A and B are shown apart, each in its own frame.
Chain A
Amino acid sequence: MDLNTKYTPQSWPDHPENSTLEGKNKFVGFWLFLGGETVTFASLFATYLALKNKGPSGMEFTTQGLFELPLVFIMTMLLLTSSLTSVYAMYHMKNYNFKAMQAWLMVTVLLGAAFLGFEIYEFSHYVHLGFTFNQSAFSSAFFILVGTHGAHVLVGLGWIILLMVRNAKRGLNLYNAPKFYLASLYWHFIDVVWVFIFTVVYLMGVMG
Chain B
Amino acid sequence: MAHDVHTHVKSQTEYEYKRRRSANEMRGQLTTFAIMIFLTLIAFTAVYAGFSPNLVVPIILLLAVIQVILQLYYFMHMSHKGHETASMFLYSGVIVGLITVLTFVTIVWW
Contacts and interface: CB of A to CB of B under 8 A. Distances in A.
Physical contact A–B (CB less than 8 Å)? yes
Interface of A: 1, 5, 7-11, 13-15, 18-21, 28, 31-32, 34-39, 41-43, 45-47, 49-50, 69, 73, 76-77, 80, 83-84, 87-88, 91, 94-95, 174, 185, 188-189, 191-192, 195-196, 198-200, 203-204, 206-208
Residue from B9, B30, B76, B96 with most neighbouring chain A CB atoms (10 Å): B76
A46 B103 contact: yes
Contacts of B76: 185, 188-189
B62 to A, nearest CB: 10
6 contacts: A31-B89, A42-B93, A76-B40, A80-B33, A91-B25, A203-B43
A9 B15 contact: yes
Contacts of B83: 31
Contacts of B92: 35
A1 B105 contact: no
Contacts of B90: 31, 34-35, 38
A42 B9 contact: no
